[in-house]
C-alpha cells in the first residue's frame, strides 16, 4: 500500500473539526436513558390486594434458576399467622444478586405471578454480603425511580398480574 500523505493530512482536518462539535456523550447521573418497559432489573415479590403474599414457597423459581442463586425455605401457614394465600409461605426467601444473571426464568417459572423482574438497576453495594437480598428487601418498592419509555409506543400489553389481583 503506497503512502498517501494528502489523505493523512485530511485526517488531521477531520479530528480538528470535531473540536467544535458538541460531544455526543450522554452524561449519566444527570441524564438517565429511558428503559424499555420489559427491562429485566431488580426482582420484586408481589402481594394480593388484601395484603397476603402471593409467594407460597413452592421453589419452582429456585429450580428454574440457571445460576442457582435463589434460596427458598417454606413453612406452614398457621391460622393465627397467615402470610400467604395458600397452604404454605416462604419463611426464608433470599436472592444472591452477585450470582443472578437477570435472565427472567424465575418470573417465567412462577405459577402465581409472585416474582417479577422490575426496572430498578442501580443496585451497587460496597460489600458482597450486602448483595444478598432478603424477602423484606425484595418485597419493598424500589427506592430510586428510573425513567421508562412510553409503553404505548412500544406496544407492550399489560401483564396479567398488573391488571388482576
Partner 1 sequence: MREVWWISLIKAAILINLVMAAFAYTTWLERKLLGRFQNRYGPNRAGPFGLLQPIADLLKLIRKESFFPQAAYDVPYILAPIVSTATALAAFAVIPFGAGWTISHHHINGEMANVSIALILLFAFGSIGVYGGIVGGWASESKFSLLGAMRTCAQLVSYEVSLALSVLGVVLMGQSLNLAQIVAKQGQTIWFFIPQFVGLLVFLFAATAETARAPFDLPEADSELVAGYHTEYGGMRWGLFQTAEYINMITLSALAVTLFFAGWHGPYAPLGPLWFFIKLFLMVSFFIWVRASVPRLRYDQLMRFGWKVLLPVATINAVVTALLVVWVK
Residue closest to 161 by CA, chosen among 115, 113, 116, 119 = 113
Cell, residue 138: 425484595
50 interacts with partner 1 by CB under 8 A: no
Q: In this chain, which of 24, 49, 152, 163 binds partner 1, going by CB under 8 A?
A: 24
Size of residue set near partner 1 by CB under 8 A: 13
124 interacts with partner 1 by CB under 8 A: no
27 interacts with partner 1 by CB under 8 A: yes
Q: In this chain, which of 2, 12, 33, 150 binds partner 1, going by CB under 8 A?
A: 12
Cell, residue 73: 425455605
List Cβ neighbours of 110 (8 Å cut-off, separation of 6 or more): 55, 60, 61
16 interacts with partner 1 by CB under 8 A: yes
34 interacts with partner 1 by CB under 8 A: no
What distance in Å separates the CA atoms of residue 40 and residue 37, rounded to the nearest whole number? 9
Cell, residue 139: 418485597
- CA dihedral (47, 48, 52, 58) in degrees, to 10, reads -70
What's the closest the beta carbon of residue 4 comes to partner 1, in angstroms?
12
What's the closest the beta carbon of residue 126 comes to partner 1, in angstroms?
17
2 interacts with partner 1 by CB under 8 A: no
Rg over CA atoms, the chain: 23
Q: In this chain, which of 2, 5, 6, 21 binds partner 1, going by CB under 8 A?
A: 21
- Judged by the rule CB under 8 A, the positions of this chain that interact with partner 1 are 8, 11-12, 14-16, 18-19, 21, 23-25, 27
Amino acid at each position: 500500500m503506497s503512502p498517501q500523505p494528502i489523505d493523512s493530512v485530511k485526517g488531521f482536518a477531520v479530528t480538528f473539526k470535531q473540536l467544535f462539535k458538541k460531544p455526543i456523550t450522554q452524561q449519566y447521573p444527570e441524564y438517565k436513558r429511558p428503559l424499555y418497559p420489559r427491562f429485566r432489573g431488580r426482582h420484586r415479590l408481589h402481594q394480593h390486594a388484601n395484603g397476603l403474599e402471593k409467594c407460597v414457597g413452592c421453589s419452582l423459581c429456585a429450580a428454574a434458576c440457571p445460576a442457582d442463586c435463589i434460596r427458598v425455605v417454606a413453612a406452614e401457614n398457621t391460622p393465627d399467622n397467615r402470610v400467604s394465600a395458600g397452604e404454605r409461605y416462604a419463611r426464608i426467601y433470599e436472592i444472591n444478586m452477585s450470582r443472578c444473571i437477570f435472565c427472567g426464568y424465575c418470573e417465567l417459572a412462577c405459577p402465581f405471578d409472585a416474582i417479577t423482574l422490575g426496572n430498578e438497576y442501580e443496585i451497587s453495594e460496597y460489600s458482597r454480603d450486602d448483595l444478598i437480598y432478603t424477602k423484606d428487601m425484595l418485597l419493598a418498592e424500589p427506592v430510586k425511580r428510573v425513567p421508562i419509555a412510553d409503553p404505548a409506543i412500544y406496544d407492550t400489553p399489560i401483564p396479567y398480574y398488573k391488571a388482576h389481583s
